[in-house]
Amino acid sequence: MRIGVLALQGAFIEHIHVLNRLGAETVEIRMPKHLANCDGLVIPGGESTTIAKLLSEYRLLEPIRTLAKNGAPVMGTCAGMIVLARRVDALGYPTLDLIDITVARNAFGRQVDSFETDLTVPVLGSKPYHGVFIRAPLIARVGPGVEVLCQLGNGDVVAARQRNIVALAFHPELTDDARWHGYFLKLTAGVTLAESSC
């Protein structure tokens, strides 16, 4: 499996390390032509205004939309989730609009309000998942057809999926627990298998 990792800004190296550790081939995406032959795409955390601006400037919006519409799984984490969303408060640049959620940026406050907490995530099994939230956004609205994958104890939605699109408010590349990347690779393998049996 060949997984593209958007490498315009942010924590892309960490995602590449986890994916490689799980046996996936990775390719850094900076230009539309890098997306050729990718079975899936990861959009890392960082600064969503910068990532969204560069997605427009480098003409990556449409090619990524096409990849996703052709069924390739896309997982966005933190700022990556922001640029995947249908609606975001005050971003100033277009998003990819690949998942029907509304996202509130910096929903937990400023940098000092970053936190870590154990999460209950049924799709990852019964063992709690340790979530790292860094100036994190949250999912303020979930549209029909969007599955909630994880909520905080107070009900705030921090992970969701719509078909092949996975949105996480936290940073799965910053812990040793590779279960989210494993989940994403399983989704990708499912699509690849379905295609090869056609």
Active-site residue set: 78, 171, 173
Residue 78 binding ligand GLN, by CB under 6 A: yes
Among 35, 43, 82, 146, the residue binding ligand GLN under the rule CB under 6 A is 82
* Binding segment toward ligand GLN, per CB under 6 A, in 61-69, 78-86, 117-125, 180-188: 78-86
Of the pair 19, 52, the CB lying nearest ligand GLN is at 52
**81 vs 85: CA distance, rounded Å:** 6
166 closest CA partner among 125, 198, 121: 121
Encoding tokens for residue 43?
A: 């959009």
**91 vs 38: CA distance, rounded Å:** 28
Nearest approach in angstroms of CB 37 to ligand GLN is 27
* Binding segment toward ligand GLN, per CB under 6 A, in 18-26, 75-83, 116-124, 142-150: 75-83
Number of C-beta neighbours around residue 68 at 10 A:
20
Residue 134 binding ligand GLN, by CB under 6 A: yes
Encoding tokens for residue 68?
A: 């996703």
Among 15, 135, 161, 181, the residue binding ligand GLN under the rule CB under 6 A is 135
Residue 79 binding ligand GLN, by CB under 6 A: yes
Encoding tokens for residue 71?
A: 């069924």
**83 vs 81: CA distance, rounded Å:** 6
Encoding tokens for residue 10?
A: 């942010």
Binding site for ligand GLN (CB under 6 A): 45-48, 78-79, 82, 105-106, 134-135
